[in-house]
Structures are given as C-alpha cells and as structure tokens.
Amino acid sequence: MNKSEIIEKVNDFLTNEIEIDKDLIAPEALLTKDLGIDSLDVVDIIVIVEETFGVKIKGEELKTVKTLGEFYDFIESKLK
C-alpha cells in the first residue's frame, strides 16, 4: 500500500467514523488541538487502524505522534 492510499483511508475514517470536519484535515493539523481528538477517539482510531491495515498498535507508540502527517508516517512505518 502506498502513502496516498494510506492518507485516503485515514482521512476517510477520520471523517466518517470519528466525525472530524473534512476541512480540518491537513498533514500539519495537530491531532488534539486542531482536530479535537481525545483519549476515547484514540482508542477508536487504534481499533480502526488495526482492522483497516492489519497491524497491531500499542497506545504508547502513539505518544510521540502530534500531527496528522506524523500519523500517516507512523502507519506507513507499521506496514513495512
């Protein structure tokens, strides 16, 4: 899966499952401040990512991920 496919899938579930406004989604968007993602959303996102991409994620792995762009990169690294 290439980076553009990852971005498309992530953006799709952020807008449809987590209900984030499509206009807010940008690589430089801060997950908590700009997108309003809270700890409950993180749990949902982990489940969705694991099911969508077939990877396992530990919650502490996401502690260094601050922006949506970093999140795309994180998923890409898990797929390698």
Give the global pTM: 0.93
Higher local confidence (pLDDT), 8 or 58 = 8
Mean pLDDT over 52-77 rounds to 95
Judged on CB neighbours under 10 Å (0-12, 13-18, 19+), 10 is buried
Average pLDDT over residues 12-25: 97
- Segment 71-79 mean pLDDT: 98
The CATH architecture assigned to 3-78 reads Orthogonal Bundle (1.10)
Q: If you average pLDDT over residues 59-75, what whole number do you get?
A: 95
For residue range 19-60, list pLDDT tens digits in order. 999 999 999 999 999 999 999 999 999 999 999 999 999 988
Which residues, in sequence order, are CB contacts of 43 under 8 Å at separation 6+? 59
